[in-house]
């Protein structure tokens, strides 16, 4: 629990956006009643809060108003997760990895879904059908023109050899 941390204790910091883990040393702990915040009138009912200052390398990081009886805190707005227990940090990393794996595994299914939606949109939109037909016709014409250039160059190349 954050309230039981003492000066010199280890605190694990996970930067979720990068991801990377740093180990910090607690330099101060202050457990107190939360200050009244009119925006959160029920905040007073959540119990004690703890303010912790941690050194990480040359930097000092303040973590304010942590639930005193908790062992982890998640700062979604900053992409930071802190824990006093390495095992809980490992659980968070495992959860992040598993979520990412689910996204990777669903890639093909979502790609197929997108393609099917594109087909349906085209079938329901006559303007899009015309646009695609024109694009296909243009592509076919370019292919035919390239073939004609190749044939003309082959014929002219043969004629040049006969005149020499």
Q: pLDDT tens-digit profile of 88-107?
A: 999 999 999 999 999 999 99
CA distance 69 to 46: 10
Give pLDDT, residue 35.
Answer: 63
User: Is the predicted pLDDT of residue 46 greater than 70, yes or no?
Assistant: no
CA distance 119 to 122: 5
- pLDDT category at 125 given cuts 50, 70, 90 is confident
- pLDDT category at 78 given cuts 50, 70, 90 is very high
Give pLDDT, residue 41.
Answer: 58
Give pLDDT, residue 89.
Answer: 96
* Model confidence, pTM: 0.66
Give pLDDT, residue 42.
Answer: 58
Question: Cβ(80)–Cβ(66) under 8 Å?
Answer: no
The sheet carrying 59-67 orders its strands as 59-67, 49-56, 20-32, 10-15, 80-83, 72-75
Give pLDDT, residue 31.
Answer: 83
User: Is the predicted pLDDT of residue 45 greater than 60, yes or no?
Assistant: no
- pLDDT category at 137 given cuts 50, 70, 90 is very high
For residue 55, give the nearest of 8, 89, 88 by alpha carbon.
8
Q: What is the CA radius of gyration of the chain?
A: 32
Question: Cβ(48)–Cβ(3) under 8 Å?
Answer: yes
CA distance 44 to 87: 30
Q: For the chain, what percent of residues have pLDDT higher than 90?
A: 66
Environment class of 51 (CB within 10 Å of its CB; exposed 0-12, middle 13-18, buried 19+): middle
User: Is the predicted pLDDT of residue 43 greater than 60, yes or no?
Assistant: no
């Amino acid at each position: 629990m954050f309230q039981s941390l003492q000066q010199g204790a280890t605190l694990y910091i996970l930067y979720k956006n990068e991801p990377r883990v740093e180990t910090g040393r607690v330099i101060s702990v202050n457990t107190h009643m939360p200050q009244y915040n009119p925006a959160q009138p029920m905040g007073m009912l959540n119990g004690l809060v703890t303010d912790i200052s941690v050194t990480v390398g040359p930097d000092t990081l303040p973590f304010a108003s942590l639930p005193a009886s908790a062992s982890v805190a998640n700062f979604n707005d900053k992409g930071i997760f802190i824990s006093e227990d390495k095992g809980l940090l490992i659980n968070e990393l495992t959860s992040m990895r598993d979520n990412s794996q689910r996204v990777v595994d669903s890639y093909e299914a979502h790609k197929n879904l997108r393609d099917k939606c594109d087909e349906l949109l085209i079938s329901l939109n006559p303007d899009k059908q015309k646009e695609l037909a024109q694009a296909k016709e243009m592509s076919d014409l370019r292919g035919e023109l390239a073939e004609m250039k190749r044939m003309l160059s082959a014929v002219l190349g043969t004629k040049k050899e006969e005149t020499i």
